Chains A and B, each alone.
Chain A
Amino acid sequence: NAGVTQTPKFRVLKTGQSMTLLCAQDMNHEYMYWYRQDPGMGLRLIHYSVGEGTTAKGEVPDGYNVSRLKKQNFLLGLESAAPSQTSVYFCASSWEHYEQYFGPGTRLTVT
């Protein structure tokens, strides 16, 4: 089992550019999450999904969109990147809101 994988690992964007981060899990988990972590800070929930075809807003959803077309994949999109979105993005999956399994993270820099 690969667990939770994230693509890409690193990315540099210019302000205004768009991109999509891909998260994949092979544990058949219903719940998936996207977090961001800024330097010296804890994780903040951006969006989450409780099943295929469903998404919901977390604590800091502005500037991001998500889609869960397949149970194993959860996509995070930035339509118009801003420097404030420079961060490390973590994806996670779980059975309900219990033990979450995290991916290795994507380090995004917006210049």
Chain B
Amino acid sequence: LAKTTQPISMDSYEGQEVNITCSHNNIATNDYITWYQQFPSQGPRFIIQGYKTKVTNEVASLFIPADRKSSTLSLPRVSLSDTAVYYCLVAKGGGGNKLTFGTGTQLKVEL
């Protein structure tokens, strides 16, 4: 089971770039890395997914080094509405029950 470790909390200010790193030392060859965002009293929402190198979409970038033992979610120019809990999930692409969300990172964005 690819256990993940993330910082418990992070603070930032509006307009700054925020980087949240997830450690997953036991990642398997066919595991993908997925990041979710969760607001209070809501279900998690997909942000981005990757396997290796860099992935970018309209809201975030995901950086994965060659050894894949960690990954970094990058949020450009955060706003107050980005205050949420961010989860890193490492899971096998083809199936299985290894879907364990860690405790996540509480990001707080202030003015």
Bound pair (A, B): yes
Residue B22 CB within 8 A of the other chain: no
Q: In chain A, what residue has the closest Cβ to B45?
A: A102
Q: Does A58 contact B (CB under 8 A)?
A: yes
Instruction: Let me know if B42 and A104 touch, CB within 8 A.
Output: yes
Contact indicator A59/B94 (Cβ below 8 Å) = no
* Given A40-B103, A98-B49, A99-B49: A56 in contact with B97 (beta carbons within 8 A): yes
Distance (Å) between the CB of A61 and the closest chain B CB?
9
- With contacts A42-B87, A102-B44 known, is A97 near B49, CB below 8 A? no
Taking the complex as formed, is B25 at the interface, i.e. its CB lies under 8 A from any CB of chain A? no
Residue B13 at the chain A interface, CB threshold 8 Å: no
Total cross-chain contacts (CB, 8 A) = 63
Per-residue CB contact flags for chain A residues 33-54 toward chain B (1 = under 8 Å, else 0) read: 1010000111111001010000
CB neighbours of B93 from chain A (8 A): 96-98
The B interface, classified by DSSP as helix, strand, loop or mixed, is loop
Q: Which residues of A contact B19 (CB under 8 A)?
A: none
Contacts of A98 in B (CB 8 A): 32, 34, 49, 93
Report if A50-B95 is in contact (Cβ < 8 Å); known contacts: A42-B87, A105-B42. Answer: yes
The 8 A CB mask of B59-87 against A (1 = contact, 0 = none) is 00000000000000000000000000001
**How far, in angstroms, from A96 to B32 measured CA to CA in the complex?**
12
Q: Within the assembled complex, what's the spacing in Å between the Cα atoms of A101 and B43?
A: 8
Residue ranges of A at the interface with B (Cβ–Cβ < 8 Å): 4, 33, 35, 40-45, 48, 50, 56-59, 90, 92, 96-105
Cβ contacts A to B, 11 pairs, < 8 Å:
A45-B97, A59-B99, A90-B43, A97-B94, A97-B96, A98-B34, A99-B49, A100-B44, A100-B46, A103-B43, A104-B43
Q: Known pairs A42-B103, A102-B44, A105-B41. 13 more at Cβ < 8 A?
A: A4-B43, A40-B103, A42-B100, A42-B104, A45-B99, A48-B99, A58-B99, A92-B43, A97-B91, A97-B93, A101-B46, A102-B43, A102-B45
Q: Top 10 nearest A-B pairs by Cβ distance?
A: A102-B43, A42-B101, A43-B101, A99-B46, A97-B91, A45-B99, A90-B43, A42-B103, A58-B97, A42-B102
